[in-house]
Amino acid sequence: MADATRTVAFLTPLYFDEASCLGGGERYATNMAAGLVEATGGRYRVELISYGVSPARKPLRPGVSLRVLPVGARPKDPLDAVSWDLPEAIADADLVHVHMAFSRSGEFGLLAARQQRKPVCASDHGGHSSWLGASLGSLELADRIVAYSDFGASLFRTPTPIVVIRGGVDADRFAPPEPRPTRDRVLYVGRLLAHKGIDRLIRALPPELPLTVCGRPYDPDYFALLRRLAAGKDVTFVTDADDDAVRDLYARAWCNVLPSVYVDCYGRRYRAPELMGLTLLEAMSCETVPIASRVAAMPEFIAPARSGYLFDSLDELTALLRRLASEPETVERVGREARRQVLRAFDLKVAGAKLAALYDELLESAPGRRSLAS
C-alpha cells in the first residue's frame, strides 16, 4: 500500500475563486493540496470538496481537483453550507481533512468522515460561524488537529493531538522577477476588512510616500472609511488584481504591511485576527520586506531586522516606512533573507512533506479503525 496513490478529500465551505471567496484560508487549502502532491511526487492526490448553487468539477493543477456540491439550503453564513451529497463525495477518499472546523460545514464533515470510519484531520482558518460542534466535543472526532502556527494551536481546547505545520506559500509562483522593477511604494495586500487594520496603515503613512492598497472590499462601509482617510494622501486602491498583478505589486514595493488588530476601529474585538498571514509569506517569497503588527501568529514568521519587522505603535510604523523608503540596501538585504526563510521553512512543498508524513502515519494505522462506540 505504501506505493499506491492515496486520495485525500479536503472539505472547505468556500474555495479560492471569484465565484466563492478570495481569502487566505481558501488559498491555504489549495496551496497545501498542491504541496502535498508535489512533495510526494504524485503519491497523493487531493480533491477539494466545496459548495455552490450548481454541481461542478474541474482540475486545478496536476493531482488537485475541485468538486462543487449543490448546497442543501442557502445558509445565512456561507461557512454553514452543507450538501446531502457529501457522504457519497467522500466515500472513495482514503483520508478526510476538514477545513473551517468551527462551522456547520466542518461539523457535518467531521460527522460524515467519522461515520465512514475514515482517518480525519481538522483545521481552523479563523471562520467561527458555529460553536455547536465544539461545545459537544466535535473535535474529538478528528485524529489530529493541524494548525499553522503555535498561536493557532493554543486556541484549541481538545484532547485531540495537535500538529503545527507552518507555511504553505507557493514560492515558485511568488518569486522575485528578473530584472526587478524599481521599488517605489508601500503595499498592503489582503481583504479590506476592519480587523486587518488598514485604517491604521493609512493614518501612519508619511505624506511623502505612496501606498497601494490591494484587495477585495468585502465591507462597503469600511471601504468608504478607508477612502475618506486616504483623501489628500498618495493612496491607490486596487480591488480587482489577479495573481500576476499581485506578484507585480510585491516586486515594486519596499515593503508589504499587515497591520492587523485585536480591536478594530469600531471597537469590535477579535480573538484570532491572524492565524498566519499568508500575504506576508507571499511578499517574503518575492524578496519584499514584510512588516507586521505584533499581533496573534505573525511574529512567529518574522525574524525581526533579519527577515522583516514588527511594530507596536503607529509612530514605530511611520519611522519604519520612512527608513525602508530611504535605505535600498536594507530592503534588498532583508528581502533576500526573507525569501531564504520561506524556501527553508514555509514553501508549500516543505509544508506538504510534513503533511504527507502525518497522513502516512494515520493511514498506516487505519486498518481496524475503532468503532463509533469506542
What mean pLDDT comes out for the span 141-149?
Answer: 97
The predicted structure's pLDDT at residue 24: 66
pLDDT in tens, 205-240: 999 999 999 999 999 999 999 999 999 999 999 999
Instruction: Give the single-character DSSP code of 10.
Output: E
What mean pLDDT comes out for the span 356-369?
Answer: 87
Contacts of residues 309-314 at CB distance under 8 Å and 24 or more positions apart, as own/partner, are 309/255, 309/334, 311/259, 314/200, 314/203, 314/204
CB-based contact 57:67 (threshold 8 Å)? yes
Is there a shared CATH topology between the 6-168+348-364 domain and the 185-346 domain? yes
User: Is the pLDDT reported for residue 371 higher than 50?
Assistant: no
The predicted structure's pLDDT at residue 325: 99
- Cβ atoms within 10 Å of 155's Cβ, excluding its own: 18
pLDDT in tens, 90-118: 999 999 999 999 999 999 999 999 999 99
The predicted structure's pLDDT at residue 77: 84
User: Is the pLDDT reported for residue 177 higher than 70?
Assistant: yes
Q: What are phi and psi of 50, to 5 degrees?
A: -140, -165
Strand segments, DSSP code E, in the chain are 6-11, 44-52, 56-61, 64-70, 95-98, 120-122, 144-147, 162-164, 185-189, 211-214, 235-238, 253-258, 289-293, 309-311
From the list 128, 164, 155, the residue with the least C-alpha distance to 296 is: 155
Q: What are phi and psi of 256, to 5 degrees?
A: -115, 125
pLDDT in tens, 257-271: 999 999 999 999 999
Buried b (16+ CB within 10 A) or exposed e, 80-119: bbbbebbeebbeebbbbbbbbbbbbbbbbbbbbbbeeebb
* Average pLDDT, rounded, for the chain: 93
What mean pLDDT comes out for the span 345-366?
Answer: 97
From the list 119, 169, 167, the residue with the least C-alpha distance to 275 is: 167
Q: Does domain 185-346 have CATH number 2.60.120.10?
A: no
Q: For 351, what's the count of Cα atoms within 13 Å in the CB-facing half-sphere? A: 27
The predicted structure's pLDDT at residue 226: 99
Sign (positive/negative) of CA torsion 339, 340, 345, 347? positive
Q: Cα separation of 296 and 220, whole Å?
A: 26
Domain spanning 6-168+348-364 has what CATH number?
3.40.50.2000
Return the domain boundaries, the chain.
Answer: 6-168+348-364, 185-346
Q: What pairing do the DSSP bridges indicate for beta strands 44-52 and 6-11? A: parallel
What mean pLDDT comes out for the span 146-163?
Answer: 96
In this prediction, residue 326 has a pLDDT band, given cuts at 50, 70 and 90, of: very high
The predicted structure's pLDDT at residue 135: 75
Buried b (16+ CB within 10 A) or exposed e, 228-266: ebbeeeebebeeebeeeebbebbbbbbbbbbbbbeebbe
Q: For 6, what's the count of Cα atoms within 13 Å in the CB-facing half-sphere? A: 26
Q: Cα separation of 237 and 311, whole Å?
A: 24
The predicted structure's pLDDT at residue 372: 34
pLDDT in tens, 330-343: 999 999 999 999 99
The predicted structure's pLDDT at residue 108: 94
The predicted structure's pLDDT at residue 153: 97
pLDDT in tens, 6-60: 999 999 998 877 776 766 678 899 999 999 999 999 999 999 999 998 999 999 9
pTM of the model: 0.92
User: Is the pLDDT reported for residue 69 higher than 90?
Assistant: yes
Q: Cα separation of 112 and 136, whole Å?
A: 16
Cell digits of residue 166: 507552518
In this prediction, residue 162 has a pLDDT band, given cuts at 50, 70 and 90, of: very high
What mean pLDDT comes out for the span 236-245?
Answer: 96
The predicted structure's pLDDT at residue 22: 64
